[in-house]
Structure 1
Amino acid sequence: MKLRKLFPLMIAVPLLFSACGGQGNSGGASPKPEGAGESKPEQTQTVKVGIAQLVEHPSLDAIREGFLAALKDNGYEDGKNMELDYQNAQNEPPNNLSIAQKMAGDKKDLILSIATSTSQAIVQQVKDTPVLFAGVSDPLGAKLISNMDKPGGNVSGSADYNPEAIVKLMDFIAAEFPDVKTVGSVVNEGEPNSVVMIDKAEEALKKHDIKLIRRAATNTSEVKQAAESLVGNADAIFIALDNTVVSAADAIIQVANDKKIPFFSSDRDTVEKGAIATYGFKYYDHGYQAGEMAVEILKNGANPGDMKVTLPDKLDLIINVEAAKNQGVEITDSMRNKVQDKNNILNDSK
């Protein structure tokens, strides 16, 4: 990386090194510093970092925030020693391509792509810059990489889908909601990550003799109508990590509350907004994980192709008690006992 080129000069001219080091660490300290009392050298070379994001919604925004926090904790801060270029495609596929082409031409030091379709565009266009992805459920199926342990090339990242989370949630529904015989799902079939997860949910539900039915929504304006079409046809509603659908989760929550239909989601943020439950993790932590990978690349010259793709490993049942009440569901002791960290029982007056 460019930073390495400074080292010989800094060794040869100690007075210059002393002057740079005396400015302090403007980027903040790491949450888990290595070696108490040791000060990290300030990053004196400005790095160019691009972030390409599909659309604004809580999960993807939290990924970006966690990523930037990890960089800041390790000495990289926008406006000081980092030049940040954040681009949002506003859920428009043509925008993904134009953003990817622009970033490829800008010769960034590193690019983070958030969500599957955005990552596909970045990986197709950017060949000579380190690329990390996040918010991607199936990087193999999306053809971003060919191997999870050793991706090769210039790409690696953090996948946000642990298949076990879907299985656990479907098992939870089967065990705690015996009257549910059909689960309806709103899905954008154009999002590969969503299709993979819905297929996994369908497979898991079959083992409990529960049927899954799908309703298509190609954009956010179609989500409410798709959810309404499930009324009378499904005993519960489930959505995957589908950027189109999650962006319009409020519409599904409204239908679920009005019609007293239990609503489950694959992401914590939607549960916090009004779904009953999920098995999940914090997307901020997911982004922070990707940020730590970025630090290894920017500071230590790591090769993305040699970096193993990370997966969420802290799965826990998350329940929203108030949301359950709004949908006519009582959270039982049996449900509560399945939650490992009681802080994951949200909006609980008990």
Structure 2
Amino acid sequence: MVVKRKISILLALIFSVAIFGGCSKISSAKTLKDKKVINIGIAQIIEHPALDLAKKGFVDRLAEKGFKDGENIKIDFQNAQGDMATIQTITQNFVAQRSDIIYAIATPSVQAAFNATKKIPIVMTAITDPVESGVVKSLDKSGTNVAGTSDKISIEENFKLIKEILPGKKTIGILYNTSEKNSEIQVREAEEKAKEFGFKIIKKGITNVNDIHQSLASILNQIDIMFIPTDNTVASSMPFISNECNKKNIPIIGSEKAHVEGGALATSGIDYYKLGKESADVAIEIINGKNPKDMKVKFMKETKLSINPEVAKKLNIKIPQDIEDKAEKIKGGKK
């Protein structure tokens, strides 16, 4: 009798777990959709214009779609100021506070969030290669709790741009943070593509923003052009980098519009404000019940050609008319 009673209790427990456990999975999406206030934690690795725009586009798009901070959503924005340990703490705190969604801006933020939770939906953005970074299983179907947008740029398009506006220039310098997976991927691709274009790459790795001054000085006398990848640490120091390069008459080709606003000559890059909006659309799909693991990684379909006529004049560079006609012109950091 005792054995039978124990078996009955065990079966009842298993049945209850099956019923209520299954229901919890079904209701989680409904709970998120029907919640009066949805808690969204935003984790940003560092402050610089491109990532700031990715945040602004995200928040603006949510508001456009009826999700307004202080009303039906509550946004907790945290910036790690470039510190890898801090971004881990930020994402761990979001998990402890039971955020409903984490919006992770840039590769280090996404990786930190993914390390912190495999349950809370993570909307990623400004990440170059989410598969190689280990946060999704494939581009066609995430397979994890991470979904969102990639800021992968076309190295080839920027190298074509160099050929068109800087003919005869052969030696390209690249400054990048060795701790950022996104930068490592871009540098590797640049080295591969350089062979096709007849370019020579001189790369210089840094570990934090304090290394930039010395590392930049060590390569300026060896290069014709500086190429800036979508590196968060380097991007945060664009005004300094552009000033030093301009002193040596070395043009900079950037990877995003914000680089041109910061003093680069030109770029064929993406619009991070639009990228943020695309990311918000992903968040809204998740709020409405879509599972991140079933979602594709989204990419920007078009690049934006931007030039800085003031920099061109300063460096005595003539921009071909066809490029000038179709490019967005940046003056003094603005259109």
1:64 aligns with 2:48: no
Match of 1:346 in 2: 330
Tell me how far apart the structure 2 counterparts of residues 120 and 216 of structure 1 sit (CA, whole Å): 21
Structure 2 residue corresponding to 1:321, chosen from 309, 328, 335: 309
2:176–2:204 Cα contact (<8 Å) kept: yes
Equivalent residues in 2 for 1:133-282, closer than 5 Å: 133-162=124-153, 165-282=154-271
Q: Following superposition, which runs of at least 4 residues in structure 1 exceed 6 angstroms of deviation? A: none
Query: 1:5/1:55 Cα in 2 relative to 1: closer, same or farther (>3 Å)?
Result: closer
Structure 2 CA distance for aligned equivalents of residues 193 and 218 of structure 1: 14
TM-score by length of 2: 0.86
CA apart distance, 1:150: 0.6
Structure 1: unaligned runs, 5 residues or longer: 8-42
Q: Is the 8 A contact 1:171 1:204 kept in 2?
A: no
Equivalent positions of 1:14-33 (< 5 A) are none
1:82-93 to 2 correspondences below 5 Å: 82-93=73-84
Give the CA deviation at 1:99. 1.2
* Partner Cα distance (1:122, 1:190) in 2: 16
Q: TM-score, normalised by structure 1?
A: 0.83
Mapped partners of 2:305, 2:239: distance in 1 = 21
Q: Distance in 2 between matches of 1:136 and 1:273?
A: 21
Residue 311 of structure 1 is matched in structure 2 by 299
Say whether the 8 Å CA contact 1:3–1:45 is kept in structure 2. Answer: no
Measure the CA separation in 2 of the matches of 1:347 and 1:52: 31
Which amino acid letter does the alignment assign opposite residue 103 of structure 1? F
Instruction: List gaps (5 residues or longer) in structure 2.
Output: 1-26
Moved more, 56-65 or 203-212: 203-212
Q: Secondary structure at the match of 1:232?
A: helix
SS in 2 for 1:230: helix
Q: 1:310 aligns to what SS in structure 2?
A: strand
Describe the SS at the equivalent of 2:197: coil
User: What amino acid maps onto 1:176 in structure 2?
Assistant: I
Q: Distance in 2 between matches of 1:253 and 1:61?
A: 20
1:77 aligns with 2:68: yes
TM-aligned CA distance change 1:329 to 1:228, over 3 Å: farther
- Cα pair 1:190 1:218 within 8 Å, conserved: yes
Residues 69, 6 of structure 1: CA spacing in aligned structure 2 closer, same or farther, 3 A cutoff? Answer: closer
- Structure 1 residues 44 and 219: alpha-carbon distance in aligned structure 2, compared to 1, 3 A threshold: closer
Report the count of equivalent residues. Answer: 306
Q: Secondary structure at the match of 1:135?
A: strand
Distance 1:81 1:209, change over 3 A: same
Aligned-partner Cα distance in 2 for 1:174–1:203 = 16
* Cα contact 1:167–1:200 (8 A) shared by 2: no
1:59 is aligned with what amino acid?
A: A
- Over the aligned positions, Cα root-mean-square deviation in angstroms equals 1.9
Higher relative contact order (CA 8 A, sep 6+): 2
Q: Give the corresponding residue for 1:301.
A: 289
Letter in 1 for 2:308: N
* Residue range with higher mean Cα deviation, 175-184 or 263-272: 175-184
Identity of aligned residues (%): 34
Distance 2:167 2:253 in 1: 15
**CA 1:83–1:180 in structure 2 vs 1: closer, same or farther (change >3 Å)?**
same
CA distance in 2, matches of 1:67, 1:286: 8
Distance in 1, Cα, partners of 2:220 & 2:316: 15
Higher-helix-fraction structure: 2
Shift of 1:44: 7.0
Deviation of the 1:2 alpha carbon: 6.6
1:264–1:275: 8 Å Cα contact kept in structure 2? yes
Q: Distance in 1 between matches of 2:164 and 2:330?
A: 21
Pick the structure with greater CA Rg: 2
Residue 336 of structure 1: aligned partner: 324
| CA distance in structure 2 between the partners assigned to 1:301 and 1:276 by the alignment | 44
State whether structure 2 residue 89 is matched by structure 1 residue 98.
yes
- 2 CA distance for matches of 1:251 and 1:5? 48
Cα distance in 1 for residues equivalent to 2:92 and 2:224: 45
Task: Give 1:17's aligned residue.
Answer: none
Q: 1:113 aligns with which of 79, 99, 104?
A: 104
1:227 and 1:260 map into 2 onto residues whose CA distance is 14
Letter in 2 for 1:307: M
How far off its partner does 1:326 sit?
Answer: 2.3
* 1:36 corresponding residue in structure 2: none
